[in-house]
Chains A and B, each alone.
Chain A
Amino acid sequence: MSSKIPPSIGFAARVLVGTVLVYAGAVKAAGPSEEFAIVIGSYDVLPHDMVLTAATFLPWVELLLGWSLIFGLRLRAAAAAAAALFAAFLCALLSVQLKGIQLPNCGCFGDAMHFTPRQAFFVDSGLAALCWLSWKSAPARLSLDTWCD
């Protein structure tokens, strides 16, 4: 299955998705979770009492998945989980559009970078496609998986 993807493309895809996830996770995990909770709350997709918990843990999930992709640790699982995360983000963005909620900023990168929901939709779709390339590239030579096995 992996033979269809040149290793360099697979490597570039996983490093790119990983870097975006690490950046997004780090800027949010570094800041106060109460700030990010406001952004999650504005999507109106989670019950109120889960919002702060999600705001605390979601950046760490992004970080761990990002570094797992970059280092190639459990690459297939990490790529699948990252794709599922992007699918969840896309569903949240779609629900915001359907509900007519006006979000000035998607909140994807905390306060560091501002994307409109429409821009975020395209970025997340592209990243989900790169997750598929990362998944296809496993088992990759330049990865912790190879070192472990």
Chain B
Amino acid sequence: MILSAMDRLPRLIASIIIVLATSAGSVRIARGVRKPFSSNAPDYRMLGPQNAKVTIIEFSDFECPACRVAEAPMRALLKLYDGKVRLVFKHFPLERMHRWARAGAIAAECAGRQGKFWEYHHELYDHQDEWASAKSEQRLPAYAARLGLNTLAWNACRQDPAVNAAVNSDAKDALNAWVGSTPTFFINGKRFVGALQLSERGTPWVEKELKK
């Protein structure tokens, strides 16, 4: 039986609705239940005033070359909006690709406990090629010594399970925030992935948020 054009139209519309609804439904299923992520971090991993109008949460991996590349635009952005922007650093070591990333995160965390997180952070990014290798165990203590850290306490801290747990907690937050690659920045909740998105779209977004 061949239907007339007028009879076909409702069926065609119903068919299109079926395809649209199943498409939307499959995305809903793939998305699953979104868990909230915490933006909390110890004070030593924060820069800028607490009441800043703009908060940037950075999920980063010290061994990731793209994170090192994003360092320059991030430092430029912080300099440009000095005193108006707050940066929160969260660890997300991608151990599947970066063998030494967790060691770097733990080393920086222990430097943070002696008040030198950002100095150690800069050492790790500025000398990434040097320590992200089999020489990791030689280089990481050398940076600690260079920054004048108490190396005994710093070494003891690196064995502390609580430090490892703090890194794990950040990594869990990254997964809850659906962070798949590093660096990922949330600027007042809006996501920017990588140095290019940060410099091309992130800076105008900060400008816009500051004008609110």
Contact = CB atoms under 8 A, between A and B. Distances in A.
A38 B183 CA distance: 11
A81 interface: no
B15 A147 contact: yes
A25 B19 CA distance: 14
B82 interface: no
Interface in B7-30: 8, 11-12, 15-16, 18-20, 22-23, 26-27, 29-30
A148 B18 contact: no
B81 to A, nearest CB: 21
Contact of B19 (A27, A37, A67): A67
Given A71-B15, A71-B18, A147-B11, A38 B3 contact: no
* Among A27, A34, A144, residue most surrounded by chain B Cβ atoms (within 10 Å): A34
A85 to B, nearest CB: 15
B197 A148 contact: no
B180 A148 contact: no
A63 interface: yes
Contacts of A117: none
A32 interface: yes
Interface in A16-74: 22, 25-27, 29-32, 34-35, 37-38, 41, 48, 60, 63-64, 67-68, 71, 73
B30 A30 contact: yes
Given A29-B27, A67-B22, A73-B16, A41 B180 contact: no
Nearest to A48: B200
Nearest to B18: A71
Contacts of B193: 32, 34-35, 37-38
Interface string A65-89: 0011001010000000000000000
A10 interface: no
Contacts of B23: 22, 25, 60, 63-64, 67
Interface of B: 2-3, 8, 11-12, 15-16, 18-20, 22-23, 26-27, 29-32, 97, 178, 180-181, 184, 191-194, 196-197, 200
**9 pairs of A and B residues whose beta carbons are closest in the complex:** A30-B30, A26-B30, A30-B31, A144-B15, A111-B180, A63-B23, A26-B26, A34-B193, A148-B11
Interface of A: 22, 25-27, 29-32, 34-35, 37-38, 41, 48, 60, 63-64, 67-68, 71, 73, 104, 110-111, 144, 147-149
